[in-house]
Amino acid sequence: DKLYRLIEDAQAEGKSDIISFFSHGRAFAIQDPDRFREEIMPRFFRQTKLASFQRQLNLYGFRRITRGPDSGGYYHAMFVRSRPDLCSYMRRTKVRGQHGGTLNRDDPN
């Protein structure tokens, strides 16, 4: 939901040269990573490291597009322009080793 608002706000503010949906609306791209990190990330996130942002995308199930005209973009089946309602179906995967702040020493993994 936050990412959807981020992209929509960027478009409304004339900053679609930084981040935007592709014309088909099924994926998005960060066209200017430096400006994204400096101008957009601080307004929506506490951290401003692009690598951390990309890790969060991975944890939410986004896939990097590596071939074709959308190469470099990010895709998720439930992240579609004009369908913010689908974002509610997206779930963050749990990171191995995180136990809600407590460490279970009996857990071999």
pLDDT digits over 56-78, tens only? Answer: 999 999 999 999 999 999 999 99
Question: Residue 75, SS3?
Answer: strand
Question: Residue 30, SS3?
Answer: strand
**pLDDT, mean over the chain:** 90
Q: How far is CA 61 from the centre of its chain?
A: 9
How is the chain split among helix, strand and coil, in percent rounded to 5?
Answer: 35, 10, 55
| Model pLDDT, residue 105 | 45
